[in-house]
Chain A
Amino acid sequence: MGRYILKRIGYMFLTLWIIATITFVLIYSIPGDPIATKARVLPVKTMEAIRKKYKLDQPKYKQYISYLGNLVQGDMGESIQYPGRRVNDMIKKEFPVSAKLGLQAVVVGLAVGLILGIIAAFYRSTWPDFVVIFIAIFGVSVPGFVFAILLQYFFGGKLGLPTAGWFSNSAWFGKGFRYTVLPTLALSIPGIASNARFMRTSVLDVINQDYVLTAKAKGVNRVNMVWRHIIRNAIIPVVTILGPRIAGIITGTIIVETIFGIPGLGRELVNAINNRDYTVIMSLTIFFAFLYIVSLLLVDIAYVLIDPKIKLTKEKQ
């Protein structure tokens, strides 16, 4: 197991390098560069000077090498669109915001989703099941922004929760917590919906197995049965989708961040692509990819811990 994890970490660097290269090629094959699109009115000399500053005048391969060189030293470069903004600072400042919201949303989504899914499976084809399915369909088919606005409308005014804005990064609880309630709810709804659906299906698969019948015959009580016999065998699909969701959600989502006015990381990447902000695109992509790959590794480790039947390494035969 230890060797496997080390191997995966080794592969991670290789994968990150390939991702960086592909993104680099993709960016440079899209016509237009950041200076040309934004500064048409500049005199030619100024433009050349700016190009020189960002090394855009050099041949592509030199740009590539110098970028990778900086990346290896941990320097993710400086925004071309907003001079003086370094990507490292951007991540340092905005990632905690997105991560805090995202983790809250994932925890809420996992807890509520699992409970709803298990209840629905146990009471199949009765009203609790229909209620859960309704919630799940609602969560999947109502677009996130509609739900966010509805939350603002109903809870913002009546309960006095702030509808938008952000307080401060330092305090997890306390004053800032009130600002996170509505965005967390909005973010967790799709998670609740899909976790509940997947859990319901796989619990239904497990519930008819002989070992559950055996447990029932032995007189194991419900809570213990769910905890020891059912969850472990049914949770694999939820774990599978949870990994990338954690990675995706802690890096922020553009819609919820825009509606609630949260200074998160999600909108930065979209802005950067629209502005052809090469360095920001590259660096954020690498950062996101890093989180994604780590999350997949954690998922694979979780598989083995949850279900001993799963083996990651091929045993010698």
Chain B
Amino acid sequence: MVSINKDKFKIIGYDENELEAISRPNISYWKDAWRRLRKNKVAMVSLVILIIVILMCLIGPYLSPFNFKDQDYSLLDKTPTTLHWFGTDNLGRDMFVRTWMGGRISMYIGFVGTLVELVIGCLYGGIAGYLGGKADMIMMRLIEIIASVPYLLVVILLLLVLPKGVNTLIIGLCITGWVGIARLIRGQVMQIKSLDYVLAAKALGAKPMRIILKHELPNTVGLILVYMSMDIPAFIFDEAF
């Protein structure tokens, strides 16, 4: 057995400044998230497919010589050929270009609609949940009213007032759509509100809006993401309907 004595060690000294130096590059929150995401093969494959679809929606229509409106009456309901890569529809229009043009609108509605809903819903739900009491009472009754008025009536009326188009559709879908996320956030915030870190923030004199934005909403982010992942396809289906 080798005995370890004090004289086997030697103090080589240390530099006060060096101790404080950061030897490795700082890994930020997002970098860490990205590193973990890269390990997940399914996620990476999905990401690549998603990027391809987005790219094709942007450049797809320019790859083919046809316009999405042009009709060719000699080629109705054709299967894919070298000329029309996805075939033609019952009116003789090129399906390749039409697919990507349609994809543009679907994506626009899906992303913009969800984003608008998310911003309104998170703020509304956060405020209602955090303040509680009377404010919560009034804000939640407002949600009940908005959710209960038939959606179809609102859309018909909007179409009368505003020009027919994508943006009108988004407004129509958003008017009633933010209610769901707002209630979800409210429930979660009510649960989080009594946790210690909120108390700590309060004790440090943080304003309610800061507590909602910096402490409560980041802790509901898992829910928000799940809701988004279900809301984008829902928007796209609603638009189709």
Contacts and interface: CB of A to CB of B under 8 A. Distances in A.
Contact of B40 (A125, A236, A309): A125
B214 interface: no
Q: Which of A293, A310, A312 has the most chain B CB atoms inside 10 A of its CB?
A: A310
A289 B148 contact: yes
Interface in B119-169: 132-134, 137, 140-141, 144-145, 147-150, 152-154, 156-157, 160
A205 B147 CA distance: 30
Contacts of A303: 187, 190-191
Contact of A23 (B140, B153, B156): B153
B222 A26 contact: no
Contacts of A236: 187-188, 191
A140 interface: yes
Contact of A30 (B42, B132, B156, B195): B156
A19 B157 contact: no
Contact of B183 (A7, A240, A273): A240
B144 A292 contact: yes
B157 A198 contact: no
A30 B145 contact: no
B145 A15 contact: yes
A214 interface: no
Nearest to B134: A314
B153 A30 contact: yes
Contacts, number: 113
B225 to A, nearest CB: 8
A5 interface: no
Interface string A275-317: 0000001000100110011001001000100010111111000
Q: Is the interface of B mostly helix, strand, loop or mixed?
A: helix
B145 A241 contact: no
A220 interface: no
Contacts of B225: 201
Interface residues of A, number: 51
Contact of B222 (A204, A239, A293, A299): A204
Contact of B152 (A14, A143, A270): A270
Given A30-B153, A285-B149, A314-B133, A237 B223 contact: yes
A134 B234 CA distance: 17
Contact of B149 (A22, A194, A310, A312): A22
Contacts of A240: 183-184, 186-188
Contacts of A112: none
A188 interface: no
Nearest to B179: A244
Contacts of B188: 236-237, 240
Interface of B: 40, 42, 132-134, 137, 140-141, 144-145, 147-150, 152-154, 156-157, 160, 180, 183-184, 186-188, 190-191, 193-195, 222-223, 225-226, 229-230, 233-234, 237
A-B pairs, 5 with minimum CB distance? A289-B148, A314-B133, A240-B187, A201-B222, A309-B194
25 contacts: A18-B145, A22-B149, A26-B153, A26-B154, A26-B157, A140-B229, A193-B230, A194-B230, A197-B229, A201-B223, A201-B226, A202-B223, A236-B187, A237-B187, A240-B183, A240-B187, A244-B147, A269-B150, A273-B153, A281-B150, A289-B148, A309-B194, A310-B194, A311-B132, A312-B132
Given A23-B153, A193-B230, A201-B223, 9 more contacts: A14-B141, A30-B157, A143-B237, A197-B229, A237-B223, A240-B183, A244-B147, A244-B183, A296-B183
